[in-house]
Amino acid sequence: DTGVSQDPRHKITKRGQNVTFRCDPISEHNRLYWYRQTLGQGPEFLTYFQNEAQLEKSRLLSDRFSAERPKGSFSTLEIQRTEQGDSAMYLCASSVGTGPSGANVLTFGAGSRLTVL
């Protein structure tokens, strides 16, 4: 297992275009998270899946953002009608969770850097 994989690593797009990022978690991990990281800041939570169910979304996740994890394996994060403020690193992480409580150790991918011109 090579860890959490994210694709593409870099994406440059023009304002108003749609972009999609893919995340492949560690195979035995049932929990998957998306975070956003802007320059000079720590990662900020966006959303979280347990298997295929999206259980929590941050207020940062506007209506232009949608995330899916259709078969409980890989996940996609789509941003519609991109804005310059969407420029950031989008990080995916995965973990093993066996119940509603209990801290999970998150393993992060290398991220997908988005630049909106």
Question: Do residues 20 and 77 lie in contact, with contact meaning Cβ atoms separated by under 8 Å?
Answer: yes
Chain positions 36 to 65 lying near other proteins, rule: CB under 8 A, are 40-45, 48, 50, 55-56
What is the sign of the dihedral through the CA atoms of 24, 27, 31 and 36? negative
C-alpha to C-alpha distance for 68 and 48, rounded to whole angstroms: 10
List residues bridging with 113 in a β-sheet.
10, 89
Among 33, 36, 67, 69, binds other proteins (CB under 8 A): 33
Report the nearest approach of other proteins to the CB of residue 39 (Å).
11
25 in contact with other proteins (CB under 8 A): no
Residues that bind other proteins (CB under 8 A): 4, 31, 33, 40-45, 48, 50, 55-56, 91, 93, 95, 97, 100-111
